[in-house]
Amino acid sequence: MTLVSTRAIVDGARAAGTGALAFNVIHLETAEALVEAAEITGIPVILQISKNCVDYHGSMLPLTRATLEIAAASRAELSVHLDHLTDPAAIREGVEAGVRSVMVDHSALPYEENVAATAELTAWCHEREVYVEAELGKVGGKDGVHAPGVRTDPAEALAFIAATDVDALAVAVGSSHRMRERTAVLDHELIGTLSAKLPVPLVLHGSSGVSDDELTRAIAAGMTKINISSHLTRAFTRAIRATLEADPALSDSRVCFRSGRTAVTEEAARLLKLLGPLG
């Protein structure tokens, strides 16, 4: 099956009142695991490649091209999305490589600068039929918009969307990046207000710190795109650790990575069944 668009996955989930699951690709093994989860469940998946991942690999192209190829060869419905990109050159490089969905992240800038920079890149992307997600927030600690206590203002968000023409908006409703436990409590009333007032789908970042019940409630309140990374990374490393502890003499990294890949597939499939269109 050819790649599908992120717009189709997100708009389909929004219309159905379900979640559009976006899982981060860290390396080839996670890309393979996530594609397998989509194939097993029959539920669409957005494969995300973040700025941190690009920085880790030292280049946009090798992993992005590999992920596009793996997705295109699959029978599942998959899109590839670039996440939290702040450098216009990196966005252009990814689009030129074949990605048709990006997150333009200028949320750390003052509001007017965020609007101007986001609008310029959104216009460039739309000329190439590229879907654009953005983030609106205020500087508030290393997590910026997702620092504890930060909340998105509905009126400001509406004005931001009108000024930038973005296709989806990441909002601050109580989640935070890189949480080690799934203990975040979301502002479901605010989610409902934002969903009712804003003309574009809502995106929840930091979902790894949110429990199954809270995610289910968030989707019911109007959240659509659910980004999950650290939760699956922990599943991957736990499986590798257990494999090495069971056989300290093991030297074949493929055995370790296979166990990690399987763990990610199983947990991603569970989340898809819980939160996705067939959940």
pLDDT at 37: 98
Q: Which amino acid is at 199?
A: P
Q: Does position 47 have pLDDT exceeding 50, yes or no?
A: yes
pLDDT at 94: 96
| Full DSSP string of 46-76 | EEEEEHHHHHHHT-SHHHHHHHHHHHHHSSS
Specify the DSSP class assigned to residue 13.
Answer: H
Q: CA 38, CA 125: separation in Å to the nearest integer?
A: 27
* CB proximity list for 274: less than 8 A, separation 6 or greater: 212, 215, 216
SS3 call for 140: coil
pLDDT at 182: 61
- Whether the Cβ atoms of residue 272 and residue 38 lie closer than 8 Å to each other: yes
> pLDDT of 69-111, one tens digit each?
999 999 999 999 999 999 999 999 999 999 999 999 998 888 8
pLDDT at 136: 82
> pLDDT of 200-228, one tens digit each?
999 998 887 788 989 999 999 999 999 99
User: 3-state SS string over 216-259?
Assistant: HHHHHHCEEEEEECHHHHHHHHHHHHHHHHHCCCCCCHHHHHHH
- Whether the Cβ atoms of residue 272 and residue 19 lie closer than 8 Å to each other: no
pLDDT at 174: 73
What the chain holds in terms of domains, given with CATH numbers, is 6-275 (3.20.20.70)
Q: CA 66, CA 63: separation in Å to the nearest integer?
A: 5
Q: Does position 4 have pLDDT exceeding 70, yes or no?
A: yes
Q: CA 131, CA 26: separation in Å to the nearest integer?
A: 22
187 is catalytic: no
* 172-175, long-range: CB < 8 A, 24+ apart: 172/137, 172/145, 172/146, 173/204, 173/218, 173/223, 175/146, 175/204, 175/205, 175/206, 175/207, 175/209, 175/210
Reduced to 3 DSSP states, what percent helix, strand and coil does the chain have, rounded to the nearest 5?
55, 15, 30
> pLDDT of 110-164, one tens digit each?
889 999 999 999 999 999 999 999 998 642 233 444 455 678 899 999 999 999 9
Q: Kindly indicate the confidence band of residue 277, based on its pLDDT and cuts at 50, 70 and 90.
A: confident
Q: CA 146, CA 8: separation in Å to the nearest integer?
A: 27
Query: 57-69 burial, b if ≥16 CB within 10 A, otherwise e?
Result: eeebeebbeebbe
Q: CA 31, CA 1: separation in Å to the nearest integer?
A: 16
Q: Could you tell me the two tokens for 181?
A: 């436990």
Report the mean per-residue pLDDT for the chain.
90
Q: How many CA atoms lie within 13 A of 57 on its CB side?
A: 17
Residue of 11, 83, 105, 167 with catalytic role: 83
Q: Does position 278 have pLDDT exceeding 60, yes or no?
A: no
pLDDT at 143: 47
Count of Cβ atoms closer than 10 Å to residue 34 Cβ: 32
> pLDDT of 159-190, one tens digit each?
999 999 999 999 988 765 555 666 566 889 99
Count of Cβ atoms closer than 10 Å to residue 227 Cβ: 26
